[in-house]
Amino acid sequence: METLEIQTSTRSELVDITDGLREAVERSGVEDGVCVVFVPHTTAAVTVNEAHDPDVARDIVAALDRLAPPGPGYRHREGNADAHIKAVLVGSSVRVPVADGRLLLGRWQGVFFCEFDGPRRRKIEIRVIEN
């Protein structure tokens, strides 16, 4: 198990963590298996999506803001209820197959840490499991 730490810079953003995962897979020595990525935070998430065009990540953040807008109107008093809802919608973990010692991602795919209550220092737990 490895922990990747990142510092986010805005309240809501998607941060491409693909390179950090590739390095973890390489260090693991696993040739055939799965890379499990888990975010141990209730106001953050992780997802796989297009990494080629940065506008895709911005569009995802904007769409999630429309679904669960920040601001008043929630019972949760900390002021971050929208972040909790977005984290539920996206999810706290992903699994990416590993073959020939590499992540099996599509040509345009990347793995993103999803910050919904930043800026903060965050942890991402990574486990590469051999088949």
Max alpha carbon distance in the chain (Å)? 50
Strand order in the sheet with 44-50: 13-16, 109-115, 44-50
Q: Write down the mean pLDDT value for the chain.
A: 97
Q: Write down the pLDDT at residue 5.
A: 98
Single pTM value for the model: 0.96
| Sign of the four-CA dihedral 114, 63, 91, 31 | negative
Model confidence band, residue 16 (pLDDT cutoffs 50, 70, 90): very high
For the chain, domains (ranges, CATH) are 2-130 (2.60.120.460)
- Structure confidence by residue, pLDDT tens digits, 74-91: 999 999 999 999 999 999
- Hey, what are 32's tokens? 């055939």
